[in-house]
Amino acid sequence: MRFFRNYYLTLANCIASIQNNEPLLASATAVLQETHDRGGKVVLAGNGGSAAMASHVSVDMTKTLGLRAVNFNEADLITCFANDYGHDHWIEKALESYADPKDIVVLISSSGKSANILNAALKTKQMNLPLITFSGFSADNPLRSLGDINFWADSRAYNIVEMTHHVWLLSLLDKLVADKSANP
């Protein structure tokens, strides 16, 4: 039982570490609200568990908040773009096709080193779109320096990083929902 106690404590501490960075949370909620106000959408992308998280968050943003959100998790899109442009470039090519000037991009990578996510970050900057990143593992991972707003989970364990990112993303959504309820 010591494993579980230590696991949950580690996860709780990683999730709670964000509470010491109120300006980061405020900036992220503000830019998401600004995107909603100007009629833009949120484009979310990740690999593996981060892709599943992007799907969950995009549906909740659209359904709960009325903030249009999309993700790139359709098998035909991934296999077509990866086949035609290579795995390292498929997300940036999807951004070229699906992102509009009023949009914001959210990229999620546990390691912060996935080539397709890094290329998508560079494409986002080239398109002059706001970028929020979620990464973990090494504090100096390359993704962490590419966003306008960068969230970093201080862990090298995939599941700890992924669950931390998931909670942080949903907390941003819940904050926007609470603000909307307070100011109907």
* pLDDT value, residue 157: 97
- Residues 125, 132, 158, 90, Cα dihedral to 10°: -40
Average pLDDT over the chain reads: 97
Distance CA 95, CA 128 (A): 12
Pairwise pLDDT comparison (175 vs 183), residue with the higher score: 175
Q: Is the residue at 145 inside a domain?
A: yes
d(CA 94, CA 173): 24
Task: Compare 47 and 20 and report the one with higher pLDDT.
Answer: 47
Neighbours of 56 (CB within 10 A): 15
Residue 181 predicted with pLDDT over 80? yes
Residue 24 included in any domain = no
For residue 29, tell me if it sits in a domain: no
Percent of the chain with pLDDT strictly greater than 90: 95
Q: From residue 151, give the alpha-carbon distance in Å to each of 74, 144, 166, 169.
A: 26, 7, 11, 10
- Whether 32 maps to a domain, the answer reads no
CATH number of the domain residue 100 falls in:
3.40.50.10490
Res. 147: pLDDT tops 80: yes
Q: How does residue 46 score in pLDDT terms, banded at 50, 70 and 90?
A: very high
User: Is pLDDT at 85 greater than 90 in this prediction?
Assistant: yes
DSSP state of 87: T
The confidence score (pLDDT) of residue 182 equals 86
Q: Which domain holds residue 143?
A: 2-17+38-182
The answer to whether 113 and 142 are in contact (CB under 8 A) is yes
pLDDT at 20: 85
Task: Say if 175 falls within a structural domain.
Answer: yes
What average pLDDT score do residues 115-135 get? 98
Total domains in the chain come to 1
Please check whether residue 139 is in contact with residue 76, taking contact to mean a CB–CB distance below 8 angstroms. Answer: no
Question: Considering the domain boundaries, does residue 30 fall inside one?
Answer: no
Say if 122 falls within a structural domain. Answer: yes
Mean pLDDT within 56-67: 96
Q: What pLDDT score does 111 carry? A: 98
Does residue 117 carry a pLDDT above 90? yes
Structure token pair of residue 30 = 């503000």
Helix (H, G, I), strand (E, B) or coil at 133: strand
Binned at pLDDT 50, 70 and 90, residue 1 comes out as confident
Structure tokens, 159: 């599941």
31 domain residue, yes or no: no
CA distance 102 to 34: 10
State the CB neighbour count (10 A cutoff) for residue 26.
11
Residues 6+ apart with CB under 8 A from 3: none
The whole-angstrom separation of Cα 171 and Cα 184 is: 20
Higher pLDDT, 182 or 135: 135
Strands of the chain (E only): list them. Answer: 42-46, 69-71, 104-109, 131-135, 149-152
pTM score: 0.97
